Amino acid sequence: MNRKFRPGAVIIVTLACLYFLVPLYATFQFSLQMRRGELSFDAYRSVLSSDVFLRAFTYSVVASIAAIIVGVLLIAPTAYWVRLRLPKLRPLVEFLSFLPLIIPAVVLVFGQIRLFGSSSILPLTTTEIGTNTLVVAGYVVISLPYMYRAIDNGMAAIDISTLTEAAESLGASRLRTIATVILPNLRSAIVSGAFLTFSISLGEFVIASLLNRPAFGPYLVQLGEDRAYEPAALAILSFALTWVLMGVMQAFALRKPNQRWLRRRTSAAGKSST
């Protein structure tokens, strides 16, 4: 391996780091300046003690978790079935899963409002529960590309049809096969998809705003118009949350199947060799 010092490479990496870190540092610096003449966490205190913030944040967390559950229940069986029984349809399904990246969220929401508006057969927008349902459905759609990809990649890593057939030849029902063989092997993929869905949905603005729900995204924008230091503090907080989630995701992705979170000592583990 050639490990020579390369000035060009170092300059590029440094520039890239600066590009990301300088704004972040500037925002952080600014968020600490709420009290005149000294650095303080007042802006953070102000944000975290605000009822409106807590309500908006809770709303978005709940909506995101709902979107994760619906997304996994919808996408995992679909991807499984397509791989197992309809492999010819995979390119089509893959294309469909990409559509939310091409079609803007605004189009999606106007579609929802037209289809489920007050004058439609199923006027979901007239009730709070109905509108919340539309928000969650919207989140499922915008996170579809990421969730589908995560789960489908997870399935590509194992031989889904051979494992299914092996389990069935041993007498397992389809349900048991999915629960004890397929899902456990997809766990890290599903966790990745879940975290991606979470971070996309949490700060989502267009859907929540157009459907007029008190979500975190619209709150952020509103705050940005009204206040100076609090938005900076919130931006830093969101950033930190995202990084924590990324870290957890990495930990799941890198985990070997024999590593339990709580290390249970198995008697013969690793003792023997061939």
Partner 1 sequence: MSQLTLRSVFKSFGATAVVRDFKLTMRDGEFLSLLGPSGCGKTTVLRMVAGFESPSAGQIEIDGRDVTHLRPAQRNIGMMFQAYALFPNMTVGENVAFGLKVKGVGRDEREARVADMLRLIGLPDLGARYPFQLSGGQQQRVALARALAPQPKVLLLDEPLSALDAKVRVSLRTEIRQIQQEMGITTIFVTHDQEEAMSISDRIVVMNGGVADQIGTPFEIYNRPTTRFVANFVGTLNTFEVKVVDPALGRVTLADQPLTLSDRPLGARAGDTLSIALRPEALRLGRSDAHETTLPARIDDVHFMGSVIRLRAMMAGVPVSLDTFNRPDVPPPVPGSMVEVSLSGHEAIVLNG
270 lines the binding site for partner 1 (CB under 8 A): yes
Find the shortest distance in angstroms from Cβ 262 to partner 1: 17
Find the shortest distance in angstroms from Cβ 196 to partner 1: 23
Token pair, residue 14, equals 């440094």
Nearest-CA neighbor of 111 among 92, 101, 98, 124?
A: 124
171 lines the binding site for partner 1 (CB under 8 A): yes
Q: At what angle do helices 183-202 and 51-85 cross, to 10 degrees?
A: 140
Reduced to 3 states (helix: H, G, I; strand: E, B; else coil), residue 241 is helix
Tell me which residue has tokens 């199947």. Answer: 257
Which listed range, 2-10, 121-129, 138-146, 176-184, lies at the site for partner 1 (CB under 8 A)?
176-184
Which listed range, 64-72, 86-94, 181-189, 217-225, lies at the site for partner 1 (CB under 8 A)?
181-189
Q: Which of 4, 38, 169, 262 binds partner 1 (CB under 8 A)?
A: 169
Contact letters for partner 1, residues 184-223 (x by CB under 8 A):
xx--------------------------------------
Cβ-based nearer residue to partner 1, 65 or 158: 158
Sign of CA dihedral 145, 150, 156, 161: negative
Token pair, residue 208, equals 């929540």
Which listed range, 86-94, 157-165, 198-206, 214-222, lies at the site for partner 1 (CB under 8 A)?
157-165
Name every residue whose Cβ is closer than 8 Å to that of residue 52 and which is 6 or more positions away in sequence.
219
Nearest-CA neighbor of 27 among 271, 241, 231, 208?
A: 231
Residues near partner 1 (CB under 8 A): 158-159, 162-163, 165-173, 176, 180-181, 184-185, 256-258, 266-272, 274
